Amino acid sequence: MTATFSPGQLKFLKALTEALFDGAAMAITPDQVVANIAELFGKVGGTKLDEMRVSLIATEIALGPLFAEVDVAARVERIADRLRDSRIDLFQDMGRLRGIVYACYYGHWLPGDQDANVANPVHRQIGFALPRFRARGPGDVPITPVQGREIDPAHILTADSLDDEYDVIVVGSGAGGAVAGYNIAAQGYRVLIVEAGPFYPSHAITHHELDMIANLYKHGAVQTTTNRDFVVFQGRCVGGSSTINNGICLRVNEPGRTHPDAEDVLAKWATIGAPIDPAAFHASYDAVQAMLGIARIESRSGRHNGPHLINGWRAYANASSDPKDKRAIADWFDKNFGPPNTPNACAYCGYCNSGCAYGRRMGVAQTYLPQACRDHGARILPRTKVQQILWQTAIDGRREAEAVRLVLPDGANRLVRARVGVVVAAGTIASSKLLARSDIDGTGYQVSLNVASPVVALMPPGVGGDAWDEDQMSSYVDCGDFLLESHFQPPMSMASLMPGWFADHADRMKNYGRVHSAGILFPADRRGQIVDGKLRFRLDSTDDLPLLRRAMATLTKVHFAAGAIECYPALAKGQTVTPDMDIDAFFEAAIREQDDVTLSSSHPHGGNAMNEDSQHGVVDLDCRVHGTTNVLVTDASVFPSCIRVNAQWTTMAMAHYATARGDPFR
């Protein structure tokens, strides 16, 4: 087996790690950190490993000759000068290596299960306890598994058990594919659901963050845009992103849950050529809600970080003179966890983004997929890529899908016939790529992102409680043109988003039990395009950057209104903000371009937009690809514009809208 990194690259990584922890006590050795980095990228493999190797070579060149040979103080000086404080885009991008190093320190895991990690030295250093060792009182939900919700392993196919033809082939098993697959199977069709990622039932999920992130995410959660300015988080496993997301469920423009001044999403779609039936679409929301048990979360599941945001917002809004702030919505999230107020309610272990090990998430892998298989005969083929849709000409001259070309886990190609049709639901990026490989024109344009960035707040000693001992995301504020969302992460993920360099970063992580955190979420509408298989995305300097600055400043002020003594916005330089500063002026100076701040998105949508005119969209108003008879697209890639809120529920509603109001193939 080829080594993950060369000896020279390993030596450089060790030298970089030693410098990034200068002035900080390390609970494990730099060699162990490097081993964790090699383990992560060894599991991710593929093009992302190749990119990492190139990045290491380039960064070593940028940091000057004999970087690994000079003393640590000299290395620190070079890193600060050439990476942390640089205004050169390429060097700023290289500086993001710090997040990988810190993540692979705080993501350290001893071989074995939670019992083997009771004395994990990194966890002890920051005062963190794994779920098994947390004290729970009589009013708490026990951290125990729920049984009986998972997909029957007998319904998971291999290359040997795969047949040569099915009625309908669904590409993707996430929010769009699972709902479509269930509805079509329930109509009597023999359905094959093809998933590029692995099958991980809840009992196979662990709290070993590094291992779960490497196995459950596209590119090990380090998928980026072409300019490396945005990290794009997408699940790559059976159940898709619904397996590793926070379960947030928001409708577009729901009265009482959406700011009254927010743009009407469905009305906007109608003006740009994509009118859909609002009543039917909300009926689709209702159907998904019934299947997933979507309901308001229990306040006990977000008992520290959740009230911090809500109470901070109320204090901030009470002092604000802006009428828009007075009309903002501050509330708890609706989620597909539990359901709430039942024995199966969320146990708020805080590991949502690496999968629920307790089966308490009502994701599509616990609802739509097992029922599609058990009740309606659908089958799932994991670890398999759909390379291309093959066509024949229908009697009316349109193209008609007749088969798909699969790439099996061993690399072999195989054709499987689709007697009735094909449903594409692999997510915005993968669906656009598949359609383009299948000779569909116009794919991958006008991609939107809900852009996120965190601000971490240090609380006074003894105030607020352990934010890590609860649901990762529990409350939100809809400010009209952006949202604020409470969130917290387990050690590995928190370290990657925690701003700061050298001893500053270590000091902030040592206060893990004293920090609270929230993030901004704002819509960047139709700014992106899929180019050569990757997302190219850039914020608009006139509209988006001012909104980004204002949202970050607002969240920082909300933290201070909640009692924070200092804040750490996710800026490349890792600056500290204190209450006595002119916060608006600070962000105006600190964020001059998108490279100056850590940005991410879990909600890419668009690229194969719905439009009644084939010149302006890829699919028609029934989600059928223009010019074809039997190919549907039922994921978020069909959204004509940015929906500004978490996309999970709306994606499922769109898939239901396309496949449950009648037989989509008749």
Is pLDDT of 89 > 90?
A: no
Domain boundary assignment for the chain: 7-106, 223-232+297-359+445-604
Answer yes or no: are the C-beta atoms of 245 and 353 closer than 8 Å. Answer: yes
DSSP of 205-240:
--S-HHHHHHHHBGGGGT-B-TTS-EEE--B-STTG
Burial profile 48-59: b = 16 or more Cβ within 10 angstroms, e = fewer: bbeebeebbeeb
Alpha carbons 610 and 32: distance in angstroms, whole number: 49
**Whether residue 94 has pLDDT greater than 90:** no
Residue type, 182: Y
Whether the bond into 275 is cis, omega within 30 of 0: no
Q: How many CA atoms lie within 13 A of 105 on its CB side?
A: 30
List of residues 6+ apart from 426 with CB closer than 8 A: 171, 172, 174, 177, 196, 386, 434, 635
Q: Is 549 helix (H, G, I), strand (E, B) or coil?
A: helix
Within 401-497, where are the H helices?
Answer: 428-437, 491-497
What single-letter DSSP state applies at residue 83?
I
**SS3 for 170?**
strand
Phi-psi region of 247 (alpha: psi -120 to 50; beta: other; left: phi over 0): left
Residues 6+ apart with CB under 8 A from 270: 276
From CA 58, how far away is CA 509, in angstroms rounded? 29
Chain-centre distance for alpha carbon 65: 38
State whether residue 458 is helix, strand or coil: strand
The structure tokens listed for 382 are 């994991």
pLDDT tier at 95, thresholds 50, 70, 90:
confident
Identify each DSSP E strand in 161-320 by its residue range.
165-171, 191-194, 230-232, 295-296
Q: Which two tokens stand for residue 618?
A: 């890829």
The pLDDT value given to residue 86: 84
Q: How far apart are CA 613 and CA 626, in angstroms?
A: 9
**Segment 499-524 mean pLDDT:** 97
* pLDDT mean over 417-433: 98
Sign of torsion over alpha carbons 345, 365, 249, 599: positive
Tokens of 85: 């404080």
Please enumerate in sequence order all residues whose Cβ is within 8 A of that of 204, keeping only pairs 6 or more positions apart, or say none.
Answer: none
Whether the pLDDT of residue 1 is over 50: the answer is no
Longest dimension (CA), the chain: 74
* Percent of the chain whose pLDDT exceeds 90: 96
Mean pLDDT value across residues 581-585: 98
CA distance 489 to 496: 10
CA distances from 537 to 37, 131, 445, 530, 645 (A): 27, 38, 11, 9, 19
Over residues 306-341, the pLDDT tens digits come to 999 999 999 999 999 999 999 999 999 999 999 999
Residue 118 buriedness (CB in 10 A; 0-12 / 13-18 / 19+):
middle
Q: Which residues does 616 contact at the CB level (< 8 Å), separation at least 6?
A: 272, 273, 609
Q: What is the pLDDT of residues 200-244, one digit of tens each?
A: 999 999 999 999 999 999 999 999 999 999 999 999 999 999 999
Q: How confident is the model at residue 2 (pLDDT cuts 50, 70, 90)?
A: low
SS (H, E, C) 556-603: HHHHHHCCCCEEEECECCCCCECCCCCHHHHHHHHCCCHHHECEEECC
571, exposed or middle or buried, with CB in 10 Å at 0-12, 13-18, 19+? buried
Residue 186: pLDDT band with limits 50, 70, 90: very high
The answer to whether 605 and 634 have CB atoms below 8 angstroms apart is no
Mean pLDDT score across all residues of the chain: 96
**Residue 502, H or E segment:** helix 502-510
Residue-wise pLDDT for 12-44, tens only, equals 999 999 999 999 999 999 999 999 999 999 999
Calculate mean pLDDT across residues 78-98.
86
Q: Is the pLDDT score of 646 beyond 80? A: yes
Q: Write down the pLDDT at residue 57.
A: 94
The sign one gets for the Cα dihedral 235, 237, 238, 244 is negative
Q: In this predicted model, what pLDDT tens digit does every residue of 280-296 receive, in sequence order?
A: 999 999 999 999 999 99
Cα–Cα dist 644/261, whole Å: 13
At 560-573, the pLDDT tens digits run: 999 999 999 999 99
Q: Where does residue 350 fall: left (phi above 0), alpha (psi -120 to 50 degrees), or beta otherwise?
A: left
Which pLDDT band, with edges at 50, 70 and 90, does 597 fall under?
very high
- Selection from 429, 13, 518, 7 nearest residue 232 by Cα: 429
Q: What is the pLDDT of residue 556?
A: 98
Q: What is the torsion angle, in degrees rounded to the nearest 10, for the CA atoms of residue 23, residue 24, residue 25 and residue 27?
A: -140
